[in-house]
Amino acid sequence: MGHRVTPPSLQRVAEELQHLLQWLMGAPAGLKMNRALDQVLGRFFLYHIHLWISECRPAPRCVPRGQRPS
């Protein structure tokens, strides 16, 4: 399996979402929220962003056995 590259725009969206979630997991705008719930939900959504990015990468080209690209 080869190395798959994420398009730059998709990578940028994922990075911004991750930064936003990390900010929300802290004390956004000085608000004191339920810390345990913050962490659980934050990790949940960060994990799903990771899954989304790994699934959105373009799949490697499939070449049948015995045939080579010209």
Average confidence score pLDDT of the chain: 77
Spans of all domains in the chain: 8-56
For residues 68 and 27, the model is more confident at 27
Q: What is the pLDDT of residues 8-19, one digit of tens each?
A: 788 888 899 999
More confident residue, 64 or 56: 56
The single-letter code of the amino acid at 48 is H
The Cα 26–Cα 55 span in angstroms is 28
pLDDT confidence tier of residue 46, bands split at 50, 70 and 90: very high
43: left (phi over 0), alpha (psi -120 to 50) or beta: alpha
